[in-house]
Amino acid sequence: MTGLAPFLHKEMRETLRTWRLWVLPGFLLFSAVSSPVVMYLTPTLLDRLGAAQQGFSITLPEPTALQSYIEYLGNLNELTLFALVIAYGGIVSGEVRGGTAALTLAKPLARAAFVIGKWLSQALVVVVGAALATLICALLTRLLFDAGPAARLAPAVSLWVAYALMLLAVLVLLSVELRAPAAASGAGVGTYAALLVLAQFDVTSRVTPAGLPAAGLAVVQGESAHWVGPLIATVVVGAACLVVAVLRFRRREI
């Protein structure tokens, strides 16, 4: 693909200098720090609440490292993914609408390289951000509790990363098809909601990407996890979205 390397380099430099550097990594960092801290402070807060209100008492088991990791994955699956959908809804259409894409494509840059470069640059943000956030979460959890099942956290987060990259590919396709960034973000939210619905049914959660977040939770808990089918479906859907996005963008008027 002509011009992919220099375009990717440009995109990474722009990411480091704009608000996008802080949105998704910021939510990842928040999830990494808040999860173990909240689990550690919850018993104390409940004790204070019970002392302030006579006759009111809530008894919970002592928090553990495993609960911290579960809370972390829950934040990734909900808060962080929603932030990803909102932040990257206009990843292509925003530049097309603003005229930046026309200027960029006037250079020796293939349209396929433009689309793939957009996805790949933000995919690197997701991967690096998730790796650093997971390391921070594991270190904080070890400090406040113990190491717990830390060895299972990495593969569980890896499944989340695969799911996030697939969702990013869907957003790229939606951003190519829909000219308004807000419309692409809205369609992305709809896709995210549809996946949540599919995850509630056993038959769909085992053969679609919708089952991957739950599989990650099962992995970190040491339970039997049906992750192979959802992972294959996630890779296929993500790749298909990128291929269709490239084909559609080649025919789109800039």
Mean pLDDT (the chain, rounded): 88
Confidence at residue 66, expressed as pLDDT on a 0 to 100 scale: 94
pLDDT at 42: 80
User: What are the backbone angles phi and psi of residue 150, rounded to the nearest 5°?
Assistant: -60, -30
- Residues 193, 178 contacting (CB under 8 angstroms): no
Compute and round to an integer the Cα radius of gyration of the chain.
20
Q: Report the pLDDT value the prediction gives residue 7, as an integer from 0 to 100.
A: 84
pLDDT at 53 over 60: no
CA torsion angle for 174, 163, 233, 114 (degrees, to 10)?
Answer: 40
Q: What's the whole-model pTM score?
A: 0.91
95 pLDDT band, cuts 50/70/90, is confident
In this prediction, residues 155-180 reach a mean pLDDT of 95
| pLDDT average, residue stretch 2-15 | 83
Percent of residues, the chain, with pLDDT higher than 70: 92
Whether the per-residue pLDDT at 99 is higher than 70: the answer is yes
Output the DSSP codes for 98-167: HTHHHHHHTSS--HHHHHHHHHHHHHHHHHHHHHHHHHHHHHHHHHHS---SHHHHHHHHHHHHHHHHHH
Segment (H or E) for 225: none
The predicted structure's pLDDT at residue 174: 94
- Does 94 score more than 50 pLDDT? yes
- Residue 128: CB atoms within 10 Å: 12
- pLDDT bin (cut points 50, 70, 90) of residue 197 is very high
Q: Band of the pLDDT at 118, cuts 50, 70, 90?
A: very high
Q: Is the model's pLDDT at 87 over the cut of 90? A: no
Residue 52 has pLDDT above 50, yes or no: no
Instruction: Find the mean pLDDT for residues 173-194.
Output: 91
Q: Would you state the pLDDT for residue 46? A: 64
